[in-house]
Amino acid sequence: MPLDRLWLSSARRRLGRWLVDEVVRTPAEVILHPSRTRLQWLGAFTVVGHLFFAWFWGQYLPQPYENAAVRTLIAASGLLLLLPSINQDPQAPRTAWVFSLVAWVQLPLFFSWMYWMNHGNAVWLGSMACMIVIYYHLTDWRLASLGLLLGLVLSHVVAQPLLQTASGHGHATDHLAVLGFAWLAALLLGASSANLRRTRLLATMSTIGVVAHELRTPLATLNLLSDVLRNLAQQDVPEAKRRRIEELAGRLQGLVRSMHRQIDTQIANAQLMRLPRDATPIRAAALVQDAVEAFPYRSSRERDCVQVHIQHDFCFKGSQQLFSQVMSNLIKNALHALAAAGTFPTPGSLRIDVGLHHGRGRIAVTDEGVGIAHEHQARVFEPFFSTQTGAGSGLGLTFCKNVVDTAGGDISLVSEPHHGTVIMLDLPLYPMA
DSSP-assigned states of every residue in 68-101: HHHHHHHHHHTHHHHSHHHHS-TTSHHHHHHHHH
Confidence of residue 251 (pLDDT cuts 50, 70, 90): confident
Instruction: Give the per-residue pLDDT at 16.
Output: 76
**Residue 131 to residues 185, 221, 321, Cα–Cα distance (Å):** 12, 60, 48
Instruction: Give the per-residue pLDDT at 46.
Output: 94
* The length of the chain, given as a count of residues: 433
Q: Which of 6-15, 27-36, 211-220 has the lowest mean pLDDT?
A: 211-220
The answer to whether the CB of 420 falls within 8 A of the CB of 349 is no
Confidence of residue 139 (pLDDT cuts 50, 70, 90): very high
Exposure string of 62-97, with b = 16+ CB inside 10 Å and e = fewer, is ebebbeeebbeebbebbebbbeeebbebbebeebbe
Q: Which of 58-67, 128-137, 264-273, 374-383 has the lowest mean pLDDT?
A: 264-273
Instruction: Give the per-residue pLDDT at 41.
Output: 94
Mean pLDDT of 323-334: 90
The answer to whether the CB of 316 falls within 8 A of the CB of 286 is no
The residue among 391, 382, 393, 340 whose CA lies nearest residue 95 is: 382
Instruction: Give the per-residue pLDDT at 211.
Output: 64
The residue among 347, 342, 253 whose CA lies nearest residue 306 is: 347
Decide if pLDDT at 299 tops 50: yes
**What DSSP letter does each residue of 321-357 carry, written as one string?**
HHHHHHHHHHHHHHHHHHHHTTS---TTSEEEEEEEE
Mean pLDDT of 179-193: 86
pTM above 0.85, yes or no: no
Q: Which of 44-48, 275-279, 380-384, 389-393 has the lowest mean pLDDT?
A: 389-393
Confidence of residue 374 (pLDDT cuts 50, 70, 90): confident
Mean pLDDT of 136-146: 92
**What DSSP letter does each residue of 285-306 carry, written as one string?**
HHHHHHHHHHS--SSHHHHHHE
Decide if pLDDT at 208 tops 60: yes
Which DSSP symbol is given to 167? Answer: P
Confidence of residue 363 (pLDDT cuts 50, 70, 90): very high
**Residue 164 to residues 70, 156, 158, Cα–Cα distance (Å):** 21, 12, 12
Mean pLDDT of 287-305: 88
- Among the residues of 234-309, which ranges form H helices? 239-269, 284-294, 300-305
In whole angstroms, give the CA distance from residue 300 to residue 179.
Answer: 68
Mean pLDDT of 168-175: 66
The answer to whether the CB of 175 falls within 8 A of the CB of 123 is no
Decide if pLDDT at 14 tops 90: no
Residue 235: CB atoms within 10 Å: 8
The residue among 181, 166, 64, 71 whose CA lies nearest residue 124 is: 64
Decide if pLDDT at 117 tops 80: yes
Confidence of residue 315 (pLDDT cuts 50, 70, 90): very high
In whole angstroms, give the CA distance from residue 40 to residue 79.
Answer: 9
Exposure string of 379-392, with b = 16+ CB inside 10 Å and e = fewer, is bbbbbeebbeeeeb
Mean pLDDT of 289-318: 90
The answer to whether the CB of 294 falls within 8 A of the CB of 354 is no
Residue 368: CB atoms within 10 Å: 21
Instruction: Give the per-residue pLDDT at 204.
Output: 64
Instruction: Give the per-residue pLDDT at 222.
Output: 75
The answer to whether the CB of 308 falls within 8 A of the CB of 363 is no
Instruction: Give the per-residue pLDDT at 1.
Output: 45
Mean pLDDT of 366-370: 91
Decide if pLDDT at 341 tops 70: yes
Higher pLDDT residue, 237 or 272?
A: 237
425 strand-pairing partners: 363, 411
In whole angstroms, give the CA distance from residue 127 to residue 22.
Answer: 30
Share of the chain above pLDDT 70, in %: 84
Which DSSP symbol is given to 205? Answer: H
Q: How many CA atoms lie within 13 A of 381 on its CB side?
A: 16
Instruction: Give the per-residue pLDDT at 255.
Output: 74
Higher pLDDT residue, 418 or 10?
A: 418
Q: How many CA atoms lie within 13 A of 117 on its CB side?
A: 16
**Residue 278 to residues 218, 319, 394, Cα–Cα distance (Å):** 32, 5, 25
The answer to whether the CB of 423 falls within 8 A of the CB of 306 is no
Confidence of residue 405 (pLDDT cuts 50, 70, 90): confident
Decide if pLDDT at 73 tops 70: yes
Mean pLDDT of 249-253: 77
Mean pLDDT of 379-384: 77
Instruction: Give the per-residue pLDDT at 166.
Output: 45
In this structure, which long-range contacts are made by residues 93-101, counting pairs with CB atoms below 8 Å and at least 24 apart in sequence? 93/378, 93/379, 95/31, 95/39, 96/30, 96/31, 99/30, 99/31, 99/39, 99/139, 100/30, 100/139, 100/143, 100/147, 101/77
Confidence of residue 263 (pLDDT cuts 50, 70, 90): low
Strand 280-283 and strand 315-318: pairing? antiparallel
Non-local CB neighbours of 312 within 8 Å, separated by 6+ positions: 354, 355, 356
Mean pLDDT of 342-369: 91
Three-state DSSP state, 420: strand
Average pLDDT across the chain, whole number: 83
Q: Which of 86-90, 260-264, 340-344, 355-359 has the lowest mean pLDDT?
A: 260-264
Instruction: Give the per-residue pLDDT at 44.
Output: 95
Mean pLDDT of 163-172: 56
Q: How many CA atoms lie within 13 A of 267 on its CB side?
A: 16
